[in-house]
Chains A and B, each alone.
Chain A
Amino acid sequence: MDLFDSVFLAKASFIGIVFAITLGIAAYSTYFERKIAAFMQDRIGPDRAGPFGILQPLADAVKMFMKEDFIPANSNKWLFIMGPCLSMLTALMTSAVVPFGDTITIGDVTFDLQGIDVNIGILWVFGIVSLGVYGILIGGWASNNKYSLLGAIRAASQNISYELAMGLSIIAILMMTGSLSTKAIVEAQQNGHWNILYQPMGFIIFLICAFAECNRTPFDLPECETELIGGYHTEYSSMKLGFYLFAEYINMFISGAVMATLYFGGYDYPGIDFVTAQLGATAATLIGAGALIGKSLAFVFIFMWVRWTLPRFRYDQLMGLGWSGLIPLAMFNVVVTGLGILLDQQILIGIGGVVVFIAGIVVYDQLFVKKKIA
Chain B
Amino acid sequence: MKLSNRSKVVEQGEMTLAERMYLPAIVGGMATTLKHFFSKPVTIRYPEQTRYLGPIYRGHHILKKDEQGAERCTACGLCAVACPAEAISMVAEERKKGEEKLYREEKYAKVYEINMLRCIFCGLCEEACPKEAIFLRHDQMVPVFSSRDEVIYGKDKLVEKMDQRYLREGWK
Hey, which bits of chain A sit against chain B, CB under 8 A?
Answer: 36, 38-44, 47, 305-306, 308-310, 361-362, 365, 369, 371-372, 374
Closest to A302 in B: B30
Contact between A42 and B39 (Cβ–Cβ < 8 Å)? Answer: yes
B17 at the interface (CB under 8 A from A): yes
B98 at the interface (CB under 8 A from A): no
Chain B residues in 8 Å Cβ range of A305: 30, 33-34, 37
Contact between B13 and A38 (Cβ–Cβ < 8 Å)? Answer: no
Closest approach, in angstroms, between the C-beta of A300 and any C-beta of chain B?
A: 15
B1-45 interface bits toward A, Cβ cutoff 8 Å, 1 = contact, 0 = none: 000000000010110010001000010011011101111111101
Q: A40-B36, A374-B11 are in contact. Are A309 and B41 (CB under 8 A)?
A: no
A310–B28 alpha-carbon span in the complex (Å): 11
Complex A-B, nearest 3 residue pairs according to Cβ-Cβ distance, in ascending order? A374-B13, A309-B33, A365-B17
Chain A residues in 8 Å Cβ range of B42: 42-43
Excluding A43-B41, A305-B33, A374-B11, 13 further A-B contacts by CB distance (< 8 Å) are A39-B36, A39-B41, A40-B33, A40-B36, A42-B39, A42-B40, A43-B43, A308-B33, A309-B30, A309-B32, A371-B14, A372-B14, A374-B14
Chain B residues in 8 Å Cβ range of A39: 36-38, 41
Contact between B13 and A310 (Cβ–Cβ < 8 Å)? Answer: no
A-B contact count (CB 8 A): 49
Can you give 20 A-B contacts (C-beta < 8 A)?
A38-B41, A39-B36, A39-B38, A40-B33, A42-B36, A42-B39, A42-B41, A42-B42, A43-B41, A43-B42, A43-B43, A44-B41, A44-B43, A47-B45, A305-B34, A305-B37, A309-B29, A365-B17, A372-B13, A374-B11
Closest approach, in angstroms, between the C-beta of A360 and any C-beta of chain B?
A: 12
Closest to B44 in A: A44
Among B21, B34, B43, find the residue whose CB has the most chain A CB atoms closer than 10 A: B43
Chain A residues in 8 Å Cβ range of B13: 371-372, 374
Closest approach, in angstroms, between the C-beta of B136 and any C-beta of chain A?
A: 32
A305–B34 alpha-carbon span in the complex (Å): 8
Q: Which of A40, A44, A47, A365 contacts B37 (CB 8 A)?
A: A40
Chain A residues in 8 Å Cβ range of B45: 44, 47
Chain A residues in 8 Å Cβ range of B29: 309-310
Chain A residues in 8 Å Cβ range of B39: 42
Chain A residues in 8 Å Cβ range of B37: 36, 39-40, 305
Closest approach, in angstroms, between the C-beta of B98 and any C-beta of chain A?
A: 56
Closest approach, in angstroms, between the C-beta of B133 and any C-beta of chain A?
A: 43
Contact between B11 and A310 (Cβ–Cβ < 8 Å)? Answer: no
Closest approach, in angstroms, between the C-beta of A46 and any C-beta of chain B?
A: 12
Chain B residues in 8 Å Cβ range of A362: 17
Among B17, B39, B40, B42, find the residue whose CB has the most chain A CB atoms closer than 10 A: B17
A21–B54 alpha-carbon span in the complex (Å): 51
Closest approach, in angstroms, between the C-beta of A193 and any C-beta of chain B?
A: 27
Closest approach, in angstroms, between the C-beta of A67 and any C-beta of chain B?
A: 27
Closest approach, in angstroms, between the C-beta of A207 and any C-beta of chain B?
A: 12
Chain A residues in 8 Å Cβ range of B34: 40, 305
Chain B residues in 8 Å Cβ range of A374: 11, 13-14
Chain B residues in 8 Å Cβ range of A309: 26, 29-30, 32-33
Closest approach, in angstroms, between the C-beta of A47 and any C-beta of chain B?
A: 8
Closest approach, in angstroms, between the C-beta of B24 and any C-beta of chain A?
A: 12
Chain B residues in 8 Å Cβ range of A372: 13-14
Closest approach, in angstroms, between the C-beta of A237 and any C-beta of chain B?
A: 30
Closest approach, in angstroms, between the C-beta of A334 and any C-beta of chain B?
A: 22
A41–B45 alpha-carbon span in the complex (Å): 16
A38–B39 alpha-carbon span in the complex (Å): 11
A308–B21 alpha-carbon span in the complex (Å): 20
Chain A residues in 8 Å Cβ range of B14: 371-372, 374
A44–B39 alpha-carbon span in the complex (Å): 11
A39–B38 alpha-carbon span in the complex (Å): 7
Contact between A306 and B30 (Cβ–Cβ < 8 Å)? Answer: yes
Closest to A301 in B: B37
Closest approach, in angstroms, between the C-beta of A210 and any C-beta of chain B?
A: 16
Chain A residues in 8 Å Cβ range of B26: 309-310
Contact between A41 and B17 (Cβ–Cβ < 8 Å)? Answer: no
Closest approach, in angstroms, between the C-beta of A199 and any C-beta of chain B?
A: 18
Closest approach, in angstroms, between the C-beta of B13 and any C-beta of chain A?
A: 4
> Restricting to B35-77, which residues have a CB under 8 Å from any CB of A?
36-43, 45
Closest approach, in angstroms, between the C-beta of A346 and any C-beta of chain B?
A: 24
